[in-house]
Amino acid sequence: MPGITIIGSGRYVPGQPVTNDQLARVMDTSDEWVAQRTGIRQRHFAPDGVAPSDMGAEAARLAIENAGISPSEVDYIVFATMTPDYLFPGSGGLCGSKLGIPGVPALDIRQQCAAVPFGLQTADALVSAGAAKTVLLVAAEAHAGFMPWNRWDILEGGEGKPSQEEWERATRHRGLAVIFGDGAGAWVLRAAEQAGQGYIGGLIRSDGRHADQIFIEGCGFRRRPFCTPEMIEREEHIPQMHGRELFKHAVTKLPAVIRELCQKHGVSLDDIDWFIAHQANDRINSAVREALNLPPEKVPSNIARYGNTSGATIPILTDELLREGKLKRGQLVCFFALGAGLHWGAVLMRL
């Protein structure tokens, strides 16, 4: 049976872009500082009250329309987010209800930035097992909720300046705050029409020994109660990130898993038309590209415009490439990503 392929795609980002110069209104940073370290020039943030399920539903509607099907033809939802609407329930069922398809099973997955390799393997297994014919894979993030400033009015062009305490607090977390943006991407997935097309295979890995390299220490259920004012005061609700260690993991683990995957399926790196990477940091992706000796034109990037939207980066970039006519049917694609957990992996698919 042929593996799954993408029959429709969509993307959604909220509001107007927030530039690096705007971030400099609430913390000690600059466009040059951010762009040099990350390649990011702007990002989008979800307004208060806009949840991942809302953004995911917007992207999903576009993907369903692009696929030329009706929402009622979706018979399984796989929803990826690390910033859910609520601690529970998950966002997948909420997204389904907003699409007008209550009753469709929804599976929430938590592989953060590595969501796509895990989500594709899950979706392919569902279709191969006969549990679903049409799977909607959605990834959506609302990172605005853990940004280390409260004065959104100043960020967005209002009068005044943050207090010294607010300025110092945001600056302490700037290495994390400048990276993330909000948005959603969605794919409609079905079995390919011919053998040799669609999902070829994937290799995915998890290693909890490195969980503390990017995680939220507070407001978890190893504590009683799970959230206290003291945790907020200690800023334990804001993610902690060890960027240098994450960089080392990404630039060693990702080339290794891509090579292993290609060897397993008898594919050479030269055979692959596109390497679509999670958009975490341009420096990481450049290092991975150099380690694999790949031509730059095969490793597209849009991080400058969106920042890191976690699991949504690959679907957003893929949707852009498809709609621009660059990514075409019959081409061989390698999707790869590393995220908090640590989780990482790669997938081969012939569209």
pLDDT digits 0-9 by tens, 225-238: 999 999 999 999 99
Average the pLDDT over 146-174 and give the result: 95
pLDDT at residue 192 above 80? yes
Percentage of residues of the chain with pLDDT beyond 70: 100
From the number of C-beta atoms within 10 Å of its C-beta (0-12, 13-18, 19+), residue 63 rates as buried
Task: Judge if pTM exceeds 0.75.
Answer: yes
Residue in this structure with the two tokens 């006969």, named with its chain if needed: 130
Which residues are CB-contacts of 52 (< 8 A; sequence separation ≥ 6)? 81, 83, 84, 85, 91, 95, 140, 141, 142, 184
pLDDT bucket at 165, cuts 50 / 70 / 90: very high
Q: Which residues pair with 344 in a beta bridge?
A: 205, 338
Catalytic center residues: 113, 278, 308
What is the rounded distance in angstroms from the CA atom of residue 299 to the CA atom of residue 183?
21
- In sequence order, what DSSP letters do the residues of 15-77 get, joined into one string? SS-EEHHHHTTTSS--HHHHHHHH---EE--PPTT--HHHHHHHHHHHHHHHHT--GGG--EE
pLDDT bucket at 194, cuts 50 / 70 / 90: confident
pLDDT digits (tens, 9 = 90+) for 197-254: 999 999 999 999 999 999 999 999 999 999 999 999 999 999 999 989 999 999 999 9
